[in-house]
Chains A and B, each alone.
Chain A
Amino acid sequence: MRTIDVAEVTAVVAELCKKANFELGEDVLAAFKKALEDELSLTGKDILQQLIENARIAREEEVPMCQDTGFAVVFLEVGQEVHFTGGDLYAAVNEGVRRGYTEGYLRKSIVGHPFRRQNTGDNTPAVIHTRIVPGDRVKITVAPKGGGSENMSALRMLKPAEGEEGVKRFVLEVVKNAGPNPCPPLVVGVGIGGTMEKAALLAKEALLRPLGEPHPDEDVARLERELLESINRLGIGPQGLGGRVTALAVHVEVFPCHIASLPVAVNLNCHASRHKEALL
């Protein structure tokens, strides 16, 4: 049994909120540079150059890359041999979000009720996903999610007979319908299988994989390649103004499903693909 004070969790979450908003991932920067070579549209190239320059400014000056600093989505992978002390774990996570968003001058974008819409003033609560895993470590991932890309995400319960072709049609439909709104070039997370909420969570988790790292299952990796190629033939391009680079990557996760079901969720992420992790 390993003991961890939840105050440690608060400090780490606060740091990750800032880092995720200030620092573009090296994998994403590499994807921008490749996109700059692949893109034919001059406007598209100019946009990619602005994004590379923007990432440099944000990192150097410790300011957020985007004014929409997102909903704080926090993934906790908790080793089953860990014992938390010092208070409520989820309250500690929320305290970390409160601190990170205040100290980092990040925008507070959360309203306390879907209809009454009063800003909570500190970007809490976080959306927290917890997984219990073997061992005595705790992995914390903070993935701030912007409204523009989240709003264009979608889920559909397909008929099993629609199969892989049905999934492909749906993914393309979601990306096409989203057009410029989710800030392409996108990272497309796809969750196939499970129940409704499992598919949505798989799609979100797919966004956390390093860009360009294919799924370990060759068949799923093939589906990722085929989807990326089809998406990039849509012509949407950087910021939806036309071009060859509509998506930087497509990540697919799959899970067993019910004999009657074929759920598919598509979670779109903007070009910044923000997430940072730490291991306690």
Chain B
Amino acid sequence: MPQLRIFTPLTDEVVESLRIGQRVLLNGVIYTGRDAAHKKMVELLDKGEDLPIPLQGQVIYYVGPSPAKPGRVIGSAGPTTSGRMDAYAPRLIALGLKGMVGKGKRSPEVVEAMKKYKAVYFAAVGGAAALLARRVKSCRVVAYPELGPEAIHELVVEDLPVIVVNDVMGRDLYEEGVKIYAGQ
């Protein structure tokens, strides 16, 4: 199956060209974040303050890596369940976030926000964390170091393998993929 290489920051043109089921190799700077970091970011927005990371055209990877062994860039780093970030994601999408990488279904509100503001949701393979970590070329904490593995890390990734699950058309691979094989 042909794979498409894309580079961050993502432009509207690239985002709008992506379709569910496409296998994509993600390249460039991305940011990590889980529930705790999302909660803190939304609290800042509520207070009218600036976020610790840029959002325009950016991608957030839902991951809490394991500790890096000595001499390694990062520990194992596979996706966590995205649904826990659903309460916060629409706010960030409205501010220019273009991509999210995780695993599991998104809420109708997130799917709607992706359609409205042109953003995509990618799945990485849950449990392929040692393989995915090899595609991370650099890693540094940029916010909330007190959160440990849940801190926001800036990663530089090379050919991180992901699959488009929700596109700007509002389609959902979790729903459509299962329908194809149900009953077989």
**Contact partner, B174, options A61, A65, A108, A180, Cβ 8 Å:** A180
Contact A57 B177 (CB under 8 A): no
**Contact partner, A239, options B1, B21, B126, B179, Cβ 8 Å:** B126
Contact B76 A65 (CB under 8 A): yes
What's the minimum C-beta distance from A46 to chain B, rounded to whole angstroms? 7
We find that the number of chain A residues with CB closer than 8 angstroms to chain B is: 46
Contact A41 B177 (CB under 8 A): yes
Contact B129 A42 (CB under 8 A): no
Q: How far is A63 from B136 in the complex, measured between Cα atoms in Å?
A: 15
Determine whether A106 belongs to the interface, using a CB cutoff of 8 Å to chain B. yes
Contact B103 A181 (CB under 8 A): yes
Among B7-15, B58-66, B85-93, the stretch that binds chain A is B58-66
For B133, what are the chain A residues with a Cβ–Cβ distance below 8 Å? 63
Q: How far is A148 from B130 in the complex, measured between Cα atoms in Å?
A: 17
What's the minimum C-beta distance from B156 to chain A, rounded to whole angstroms? 18
Determine whether A202 belongs to the interface, using a CB cutoff of 8 Å to chain B. no
Mask, A237-259, CB within 8 Å of B = 1, is 10111111000000000000000
Given A46-B1, A180-B104, A65-B123 contact (CB < 8 Å): no
What's the minimum C-beta distance from B60 to chain A, rounded to whole angstroms? 16
What's the minimum C-beta distance from B44 to chain A, rounded to whole angstroms? 20
Contact A66 B103 (CB under 8 A): no
For A46, what are the chain B residues with a Cβ–Cβ distance below 8 Å? 1, 23
**Contact partner, B178, options A65, A67, A148, A237, Cβ 8 Å:** A237
Mask, A145-167, CB within 8 Å of B = 1, is 00110010000000000000000
In the complex, which residue of chain B has the Cβ closest to the Cβ of A55?
A: B130
B-to-A contact residues, CB < 8 Å = 1, 21, 23, 63-69, 72, 75-78, 80-81, 83, 103-105, 123, 125-131, 133-134, 148-149, 161, 163, 165, 173-174, 176-184
The 10 closest A-B pairs by CB, nearest first: A242-B177, A235-B182, A235-B181, A183-B126, A107-B66, A54-B131, A58-B130, A54-B128, A57-B130, A181-B104
A-to-B contact residues, CB < 8 Å = 40-43, 46-47, 50-51, 53-54, 57-58, 61, 63-69, 105-108, 119, 147-148, 151, 179-181, 183, 233-237, 239-244, 270-272
